[in-house]
Structure 1
Amino acid sequence: MSSAEPTPPTPRFETLTVPKASDVLAAEVRERILSGEFGEGTALPPERQLVEQTGLSRATVREALRILEVERLVEIRPGRGGGAFVHRPGHESLAHTVRLVIRGQRIRLEALHETREAIEPACAALAARRRTERDLAELDAAHAELVGAGEDLPRFLRANIQWHNAVARAGDNELLIGFLGALSESIHASTDLARFLDLRIRQLTAHAHARITEAIRAGDAEAAHRRMSRHVCGFARAAAEVDGRELVDLPDSGD
């Protein structure tokens, strides 16, 4: 007598997650923006037409547009002539995201300086290879502003940011421009001006900027990298001597 056939196992299925309609619409528009199909400033169809074309509710369409607005992929303009307009991400979008990470994760001031020491010398080397006459003029203008700041500490630090951002722009790398912009702004915002009173630091900074600019102007990438490395490392040490904080609460940049 033959044994009975074994009972096959009952099929099982994993729990399925169905995406929200607003997420699906946002994903389609996002892809068409990032692929270049929708260029900068392109006006999306009015809300009423989007409802008709997609078959979705007005609330769903509005939610999708809001998602894209938060991601800075569209700009919502009110009033007559308003609507949703495409905004393709640039280095300013990267800078905004980096600032959010720095604030949200409460990044240590030491970590900000370490990151700057790791990447800004490379920016200086790129600047030496790629700088234009316009870039050199921006570097010279920022340096003149820094030297002319005198005892005006906020003016000095703003000019310092302008110079470092000008170096990044001269390197002509969109990722580094955005990243360095956020980093410079964060270091500036976290610097305790009441303690940053050392004239020696300001004098050394001005001298270092002049030397780095000289290397960039000469197209000497190796010297630009070396001098920038020495500068940012020295600046970090000098700043630590007058500001012993480890964790810094950055203010809201408003963007």
Structure 2
Amino acid sequence: MGGPRFEPVQAVRAYERVVEQVEEAIERGVLTPGQRLPSERDLMVQFSVSRSTVREALRVLQARGLVRSRPGDPNGAEVLAFSPATLHKSMSTLARVSELSLAELVQFRMVLDASANLLAARLRTEEQLAEMDAAIARMREAVEESYESFSAADVAFHDAVARASGNKLIQICTDVVRSIVLDLVSEKIAGASDRKALMLESIGHHEEVLAAVRAGDGPLAARLARRTMYDYYAVYVPEGERPALLALLE
């Protein structure tokens, strides 16, 4: 007979339902940072589940950075404030299990950096421009020191631009995605025979971006970010996945 075909369903474990309800309460603001969940015994009664189910749910919630549960604490688990570290952990896990490809991560960084540059060009202050100047000066000094020092100065420049964008979520996501991408390609960069030339070329790119930001030319600053990211990282991305990056170039 014809008709719809259904896929087998997966049994949902009780602790997952507990986790879902607590997460929903946090998302809706019913539970706020600093508040306490009911005690384990109260949770057992409210959810009609065993102590082991409650404890497994609390372990999952703690692993996700939503609550802090201390062994032996007579009070319930404490609801935690959002932390960039939580986002970093989640995205790092996704990258490690190959749910996010390097191409997707680089593409997202191209989007983020371009947006940060565009906003910075329109909203930056003189103090923030001075921070960017100082970061580039430090990059020049670090060329003769070590790649680690150079990389730290590079990060300082991008952090200054992200702060100048005025958007906290851009700042957080930029920091998270940048560190994950660098983790994935750091060994290849460290082993590059022309590393000094790459550092000098990078300084040139940063100077172009700073000039565009200083001039208030947002579209140019955004284009420079996308092109620089592509030129720097495309070589590490499988050739078949590079069209995803090229699609962002003008």
- Please, what TM-score do these two structures have when normalized by structure 1? 0.71
Larger Rg, first or second structure (1 or 2): 1
- SS of the equivalent of 2:68 reads strand
Q: Offset at 1:53?
A: 4.7
Give the Cα separation in 2 of the matches to 1:55 and 1:36.
Answer: 24
Match of residue 174 from structure 2: 180
Where in structure 1 are there 5+ consecutive unaligned residues? 1-13, 248-255
Between 162-171 and 121-130, the greater mean CA deviation after superposition: 162-171
- SS of the equivalent of 1:159 reads helix
Equivalent residue in structure 2 for 1:212, among 206, 209, 214: 209
Give the Cα separation in 2 of the matches to 1:168 and 1:130.
Answer: 11
Where in structure 2 are there 5+ consecutive unaligned residues? 1-6, 240-250
Equivalent residue in structure 2 for 1:33, among 14, 26, 35: 26
Q: Offset at 1:105?
A: 1.0
Q: Offset at 1:39?
A: 1.9
Contact 1:113–1:236 under 8 Å retained in 2? yes
The yes-or-no answer on 1:232 pairing with 2:229 is yes
**What amino acid does structure 2 have at the position aligned with 1:188?**
L
Residue-by-residue CA offset, 1:9-31 (whole Å, 9 max, x unaligned) = xxxxx988764432222222111
Residue-by-residue CA offset, 1:102-154 (whole Å, 9 max, x unaligned) = 22118665554444334422221122234456654553453343233133012
**What amino acid does structure 2 have at the position aligned with 1:27?**
E
Change (3 A) 1:110 1:28: closer
* Structure-to-structure mapping, 1:97-176, within 5 angstroms: 97-105=90-98, 109=102, 112-132=105-125, 135-136=128-129, 138-151=131-144, 152-176=146-170
Contact 2:114–2:222 under 8 Å retained in 1? yes
Q: Offset at 1:67?
A: 1.9
* Structure-to-structure mapping, 1:48-67, within 5 angstroms: 48-67=41-60
Identity %: 31
Residue-by-residue CA offset, 1:63-93 (whole Å, 9 max, x unaligned) = 1111212222112344668862212445443
Change (3 A) 1:53 1:187: closer
Give the Cα separation in 2 of the matches to 1:90 and 1:129.
Answer: 28
- Please, what TM-score do these two structures have when normalized by structure 2? 0.72
- SS of the equivalent of 1:51 reads helix
Q: Offset at 1:100?
A: 2.0
Change (3 A) 1:100 1:144: farther
Between 203-212 and 163-172, the greater mean CA deviation after superposition: 163-172
- Structure (1/2) with the larger helix percentage: 2
Give the Cα separation in 1 of the matches to 2:233 and 2:197.
Answer: 14
Alignment root-mean-square deviation, CA: 3.5
